[in-house]
Structure formats: structure tokens, C-alpha cells
Structure 1
């Protein structure tokens, strides 16, 4: 029997929690015969009520006004409508704010009749979606117009130590936006109470209740001030956890209200600083367009993926698939072993994915791989999530990790051989090209957007996802260097008002220069 090795998750920023919510919704309905949910989920007993609890091992940090209808304390932990005793004997004026209205999906979860079944009284109180019976109704059309914050499609109950709402900045504040790297950096370094709350009261709490923690995975906004907040948080965290594996997915959202030139500076500083403390840093961007027309038939994407609710769903499916090998119920790999083909050279990785993979049957998949072996230097049915390209590139690699899931017959020798032939088109040093397969597809929750073609609801989709390190990373880092060296005067003055000095920018140019040299083909 495998011993579960736990992982803690951090979601830092609003778009990061859009991605994370899709991840938790999928894990909520994952096949327990295939996936060991205990890697990311904690089961416990509420000491005050004596009831079983089931919630992600998770810390979420977001701004004031970003939580929507989500309660910091939910019905798994809170008492009934009793109020705490107070010592004041005089008149008390109680004022209650009307709760925000819930959308149709959230109301559906609240009225799930299975929550009240007597036969479930002795079972762990899990999420409402897990207890519900299969329901063919999809809520995508409702949520397309109803989603404004990530909690609008959240199905999970969270632990009381999960959610941190920063009161000093407001969500979607156009007057005083949380937009510049140093705003986030200064918020962390100057607010010791906030540091202690996140590190000691929350992250350490989840770590100390683990039997054998193997790492921390981080989803972070890097286009706004959460770039600086994340960098300083990871610096403190690294001092606390030593050599524990930390993987970071740095998400940049083009619709976050940040000026493009400022976003580029934030992304650059995030790459320079986070790379100092992360075991692996994977920058990802909002898609810039649809997949190329490849006339493959099979499954495709019909959405333009410009909605945050849509494109973060695809990104979540890709990340879920990449981390599947460390969450397998049988024969899992460790978090550090999973990323080792990339980290032998440096700390950067490039993400690409086919969401969904065009076929879920062995014969069509085998023909697709065989066809690609004789094609050019682009793969039209894979999207590059790091560069935002609607295709993937065939190239020599420093290291590569690939996952193919949801295709029936993956255990057949012929299909595995075709898959390996396809992967070998990108030459990689011996021992630095690993692949994993699973017949279990990515589970589609009731709240997952209707973005696939054909649109017939399916319980799971086939998917291909990969991480790679190559000399192209030198060009990516070079872009980040250029963003710091060519800052417009107006933007530089604005950054100066937030104590972003020229010396600080120059030091980060040096850090990025060293990082670029790591991946420069001439070196």
C-alpha cells in the first residue's frame, strides 16, 4: 500500500484562484480508484463539534471584496445561528448586511437533497457536489453570464485557515489598484502580522498535520502586485521549509486592468525573484487565439478562450494532468522526481497542452502520432501556454515531462510506441525525457464551461500536457530583460513613486542575465 505524501497548495491572487477553483472542482469528482485525493485533501475531525471534515490543504490570499458569496467559515465548521457570549450588559444594536444573492449553480449545491440523507450521517461531510447524484444538467450557460469572481462556481468547502482577505486593497479598484510589484512586496515585508498569520497560523498548520509532506504547489498572479507579494512570501517560506520542493505557476492575465508595460515589468521582476526561491517556475499566459485549423476531426475547442472563466478552465485541466503522476492511487511518483528532468539544468519550465486531446480511442490516437512523426516543426493540436501560441514547437530539449490521459487502450504496446516516437521528435538527453499515461481522463464538473466541440456533455475528456526546458527559454528570459531595460519614462516615474529604484531594476536585470545564460544554446 502506498504511503500518501501530502502537498500544500497556495493560491495568491484572483486569477490564480480562478485556476485553482477549476482544479478543486475536478478533484472533487475524481475517480478514487485512480486518484489519491489525500495528497491534496485533508480529512479530519472538528474538535468542537466532533464531526468529520474534508477540505483542501490550501491557503488562498485575495483582496477585499473578491470573495463574492463565499464564507470564510462554512457549515462544516460553524455552529448554528448562535452568537458568541459577550460581557457587555447594556443595549446592543445588531446590524446584519444582506448576503449577496447566489447564482443558480450555487443554489443547486445548497439544495442538494443528498446533504440531508440520514444514511450519510455517519460519513465524512464532503462537498455537496460529491454527494449529489449524477445530473445531466450543465450550468455552463448560466455561469457564462453569472461568473464575476472565482467563488461563483466553487463547489468546495474550505478550512477556516484557508482564506485570507487583504483589507488594505480592494478587488477591481480603479482608483488605487493593486498593480505594481513593490506594492505587493512592501505589503508583505511591512506587515508582520500578515506574515505571521499566513506562515505560522496557516501554512505551518497544514504542514505540521502532514505525516510526510513532499512539497508546496503555488498558483500566483504575476502580472499585478501579487508578483511582489508572491516573491517575498516565497523568500520567507523557503527559509522556513528548507529544501522542500516548491513549484510555482506564474499566471499573467491580460484583462487584469494593469497597463501592459507595467504588467511586463511585474512579470520580469517575478521571474527574477521567484526563480531564486522556487524549485520550478512555470510562467503561463492567457491564450491569444484558437488552435490552428488542422482538420483532425475528433474533439476540439469552440470557445475563443477570452473569458477568464473559460481559459483558466483549460489551464487548470493542463496543470491537473501534469500533477496526476504524483497523485496516482497506484504507483505514484514524487513531486521532486516528477520535475527532475527539467530542474537538472535550471528552474524554468514551459507548459504546453492539448485540451482536449483530439481522440479518446487507441487507433485514432496512434494514427495521429504516426502522422506527426512525418510532419514539420509545429504541432497544430497542442497549445503553448507559456508563450501564448496556438501551436507547439518541435525542438531539441534540455528536459521534458509529458502526460497523456483519457485514451482507451493506453496500455497497448503499439500505442505506447507511437506516443514515444512522437515524443522523440524533440531530442532530449538520456534520462531527461519522461512520460506518464493513464486511461482516466480529466473529470468534467457541473461547473466546467461548455467550451469543447462536439459539445455533448462528457464525464471526462482525453488530454495531453507537457513541461519542457529548452534553449527557447533564453529568448523568453531575454524578453523579460528587455522589459526592464526599456521602461518608458512615464512608467519609470510611476514605479519610482512605489519605491522601485533604478538600482533594484538593475540588480534584477543581472539576475535575469544569469538565468538567460543557463539556457543559452551557445553555453
Structure 2
């Protein structure tokens, strides 16, 4: 077994993770459904790579994500941090009295379950789902319908658990005790710098991670999804440092994610300096403790080319996180593909690779750049006919911010994942047909990467019920692009779209230069140069001159790795 442990740190990371695990849960359900889409009934994708089998004290077998989620206290909404499967422990105070002084109790009102979570609860109780009072059943016209659930979620999601359909192990959910802070206040590196070390939190978090690692036969790597836009970044960096010390030979693939709210224009120069320094320090520290880092999160997803066939509300993390989660689902597929021997049929999958091989392929050869770009086509275009095939590369758009467009890079290295591809007439292509189509695409391309690894699978991206209504009205039931719009609505969701083809790509390319140069320039301008405005701020964050110069050298080396002739990579002092 080649297990992966996933770690989600911070609010937006957990929004992405909630969608990601919904996709996995939907795949498991469709595979077990005798009437489900045959494309999901494959033995070639091993879900045990990211899931674990367990057992409750009552002897009930469980199958839960191999996951550690870290977030604010109270961030789970109506869901208990103990999960729903094991029901261990109690919130009641102990009867053992060791304190004779005054005791005061502070308790918040429990969050009410929304319609979606109510429906899950009723399904598990195997009881009729009703709107009745005191469990009183009503006739079918008053039962909660799927349309009610979809509308409820589209109108208001407050917590990432509001749309999660997955059961979690009690060790998976960690609320940072004592951290009830509003996310808008927890918005810079300094405010979170001591969180990991205080109150034994670091030990508690590491113990939870150890629980999952110790039951692995042969762990292939960690998949970290970190909200790096605020105070969770230093917590994640301290945690990653501990992980890299304890599990030296286990590679970390890190997605540094942020929602559109973190890109809001700021009203004062001081706020701009704080944000620019946060971005530089956060990126420098996080990248020090992983084998590959992939920045994810556009300033405006709705206005990007990625949303050509989508209707996104930038201010809604429930919307934006769904797109990023879909891309991460695609990029994770090769890690759980069963390797095929040289004589095996290319039936369901092709292009299996483990985390270490993936990282070495992209960051260990050519110029050895560890900062990668994530591109996605959602839905993926039709792959039949010469014009359709060529549209694939044109439809892959970056989810990584501050990326240069139309860069010719003869040393680029990339890994492409195509799954659920559709041909003419809407029929699903076989893996061999996909491989031939992609080969034709690159044969005709004006510029090609130095190396491209292709992974392909027949199964498309399943669209679970709690997926947001973000598809435009040119997207069909199976993700095919229609010739004329569906009448009645500009946005459609899981009731109308059941699955979509996907194409995603992670690439090491010179196109990442603006991202790197901006962070290096801002660190120098605001934090290192003589008389710069951020010296006191950085000192309050715990960084002295030597540490800042080390960070500057780290960023400068990254720039030189991508472009040895860059002017900014030389020390301007």
C-alpha cells in the first residue's frame, strides 16, 4: 500500500477540502451503485491510498479519509469535532472536583443543522425525511426535496461542514483551542506566529498526525492544503518544520491556497506593506519545508478565463473552493492509479505515478524549479476532430496567480491529467483514444515542453448534490458543451449536471517568474533595504536582520533557478 495523508490548514483550505472529499465520497457511492455510471466501477483507482478502514467500539466497520483538518474553534458549525461515527467522549463536565474556587462556564448556542445536514441525518436514521415538528411525518409534498437542499446551500453556506457529506474520524478534526477569532482579524503572519507553540497545540496536532501515519504500511507522501493568506500560515510552517524533522524521507506536496477575499484592494499604504510582507514571508517559510509548492487562488476567479463556462461569485468561498477542489481532485488521481505492467490493457487508467516520482519529475530535472503552476479546463473540451483537440491547450488556464501568459519555455516540464474525456457525439473516450489525441495535440503545437507526462482515466468528475450551481447554461448533463443554451437559468448545478470531463496540468515553467519576482522585490523594498518601512513590523513578527536576509537569499535563489539572468535576483544592496 502507498498511502497519502492529507492535511488541511485554515478556513479556505477546509472549504476546498470539503468539496474534495465530497468528490471522493460520490465516487465511492457510484462505484457501489448497481445502476450507476459504469465509468466509476473501476478497480484501477485504489481509494485505500487516501482512505482508511477502522472500527468503532461497537464493532462497526468504518471507511474514512486519511485526513487531518485544522481550523478555528467553532469552525465546524453544527458538526462535532468528535465526528458522527464514533460518538466517543462527552461534553459534560467531569464529576471529579479539584478546584474549590468560583467556576464560570462560557458556552455558545449550538449551530442548527441546515436542510442538507438534516437530510443526511434522517437518511442515517433510516426515517422519513420531513419538515414536521417533533418528528411528525407529513405527506410527500412537504418532504424536503433536492431542489430545497440545493437552494438552501446556494443561498447561505457559513461553515465548510455545511455542505460536507463525509464522515470523519475523531482524530481528523482539530479546532485550535482558544482561537475563536474572526478570520478577518486573523489576517497576517505576526498574529499567528505563536499559535502552534502555545498551550501544547503543536504536540496535540503532531499526535493526531502520528495516529494516521503509524497505521500506514508504506506512506508515499503528504498532501498539504494550506490557507496562506493570514495567521494560519505560520502555524502551517511550524507544523511543516516538525513534519520535515520527523519524517525526513517522506515528500510533501504543498498547495498554498487563498480565496478572493484575500486579494481585496487595501485603503492605506500601511495595509499594503503588511500584506506584501506577509506574502513574501509566508511563501518563503512554507516553501522551505516541502518538495514542491503550488500557489493556488486568483484575485477574481469569475473574471478569469477559467470561468468561460462557469458562473462564479467571487465573494462566496463555497463557489470558488469548488473549482480549486475539482482541480486538486484531478491532480491527485495519478497517485492512486494501480500501476500497469508492460503487457496490461490500457482499459481504465494510464500514467500512474507516486508523490515522490511526481515531485522528482517536475522539480528534480531540467532547472529544478520547485514552484509549480496549476492549470485547469473545467469542463474539459471535446477531444475529437483536429480543431477540438487543439482547443485543449487553449482551454487550460492557470489557477496560480501572477503568472506570465504566452511564455515560450523550452525547458518547461509538465504533468497533464485528463479524465472522463468526451468525443464527438458525446461518447466517452477510452484511455488509448485519449493518449492518441493528446499525442496529436503536442505534435501540432507551435511550442512544446521539454517533457510532458500524461495520466488518463475513464472516470469523469462526479458532481455531488451539495456542489454549488456554478455551471453556465451551455454545459450538458455529462459536461458536454452544448450548441445552444439551456433555457430558464444562467446557472445550473448538480440537479442538471451529473458529471464533467476534466483536464488539469501542473507545470514547471518560466511563467512563474512574476510571482517570484514580486515576493523578492517586496521583501527587499519593505523589509531589508536600509530605512525600509517594514523593519519594526517584521521585528514584531519575530524576524531579525539575519533571518530576513536568509529569506531574501532563498527567494533570490528561486528566481535564479528559473532565470539565471534575471536582474532582480542579484543583491541590489
TM-score, normalised with respect to structure 1: 0.83
Could you tell me how far 1:403 is from its partner in structure 2? 0.5
The equivalent position to 1:184 in structure 2, one of 184, 192, 198, is 192
The equivalent position to 2:300 in structure 1, one of 288, 298, 303, is 288
After the TM superposition, which of the residue ranges 396-405 and 406-415 deviates more from structure 2?
A: 406-415
Can you list the C-alpha shifts for 1:465-520, whole angstroms capped at 9, x where unaligned? 00000122333211110121222966554444333444433321111001111111
Could you tell me how far 1:151 is from its partner in structure 2? 1.2
Q: 1:269 to 1:406 in 2, by over 3 A?
A: same
Answer with 1 or 2: which has the greater Rg: 2
User: Within 5 Å, which residues of 2 pair with 1:455-494?
Assistant: 455=492, 457-487=496-526, 492-494=535-537
Correspondence for 1:130: none
Does structure 1 retain, via aligned residues, the 8 Å contact 2:301–2:312? no
Correspondence for 2:425: none
- Looking at structure 1, the residues matched to 333 and 248 of structure 2 have their Cα atoms a distance apart, in angstroms, of 25
- Looking at structure 1, the residues matched to 177 and 195 of structure 2 have their Cα atoms a distance apart, in angstroms, of 11
- Looking at structure 1, the residues matched to 150 and 285 of structure 2 have their Cα atoms a distance apart, in angstroms, of 38
Uncovered stretches (5+) of structure 1, i.e. residues with no partner: 118-134, 373-378
Q: 1:68 to 1:492 in 2, by over 3 A?
A: farther
Could you tell me how far 1:68 is from its partner in structure 2? 1.3
Could you tell me how far 1:415 is from its partner in structure 2? 4.8
Can you list the C-alpha shifts for 1:181-211, whole angstroms capped at 9, x where unaligned? 24333222x3372121111x21111000111
Could you tell me how far 1:315 is from its partner in structure 2? 0.4
- Looking at structure 2, the residues matched to 419 and 260 of structure 1 have their Cα atoms a distance apart, in angstroms, of 43
Q: 1:149 to 1:166 in 2, by over 3 A?
A: same
- Looking at structure 2, the residues matched to 80 and 116 of structure 1 have their Cα atoms a distance apart, in angstroms, of 26
Secondary structure at the counterpart of residue 486 of structure 1: helix
Correspondence for 1:24: 21
Correspondence for 1:325: 334
User: Within 5 Å, which residues of 2 pair with 1:214-363?
Assistant: 214-256=220-262, 259-290=271-302, 300-328=309-337, 331=340, 332-344=352-364, 345-359=368-382, 362-363=383-384
- Looking at structure 2, the residues matched to 95 and 169 of structure 1 have their Cα atoms a distance apart, in angstroms, of 14
After the TM superposition, which of the residue ranges 403-412 and 237-246 deviates more from structure 2?
A: 403-412
Secondary structure at the counterpart of residue 155 of structure 1: coil
Secondary structure at the counterpart of residue 177 of structure 2: strand
After the TM superposition, which of the residue ranges 338-347 and 151-160 deviates more from structure 2?
A: 338-347
Secondary structure at the counterpart of residue 54 of structure 1: strand
Does structure 2 retain, via aligned residues, the 8 Å contact 1:380–1:392? no
Q: 1:78 to 1:422 in 2, by over 3 A?
A: same
Could you tell me how far 1:350 is from its partner in structure 2? 0.7
Correspondence for 1:132: none
Q: 1:302 to 1:281 in 2, by over 3 A?
A: same
Asked if residue 160 in structure 1 is aligned to residue 170 in structure 2, the reply is yes
Q: CA RMSD in A?
A: 3.3
Q: 1:94 to 1:283 in 2, by over 3 A?
A: closer
Correspondence for 1:206: 212
Asked if residue 427 in structure 1 is aligned to residue 448 in structure 2, the reply is yes
Correspondence for 1:141: 151
Could you tell me how far 1:521 is from its partner in structure 2? 5.5
Asked if residue 39 in structure 1 is aligned to residue 36 in structure 2, the reply is no
Secondary structure at the counterpart of residue 334 of structure 2: helix
Could you tell me how far 1:243 is from its partner in structure 2? 1.3
Does structure 2 retain, via aligned residues, the 8 Å contact 1:224–1:263? no
TM-score, normalised with respect to structure 2: 0.76
Q: 1:238 to 1:341 in 2, by over 3 A?
A: same
- Looking at structure 2, the residues matched to 285 and 502 of structure 1 have their Cα atoms a distance apart, in angstroms, of 30
Correspondence for 1:370: 390
Uncovered stretches (5+) of structure 2, i.e. residues with no partner: 32-40, 129-144, 341-351, 423-427, 474-491, 567-573
Does structure 1 retain, via aligned residues, the 8 Å contact 2:10–2:227? yes
Aligned length: 483
Does structure 2 retain, via aligned residues, the 8 Å contact 1:472–1:519? no
The equivalent position to 2:67 in structure 1, one of 33, 49, 58, is 58
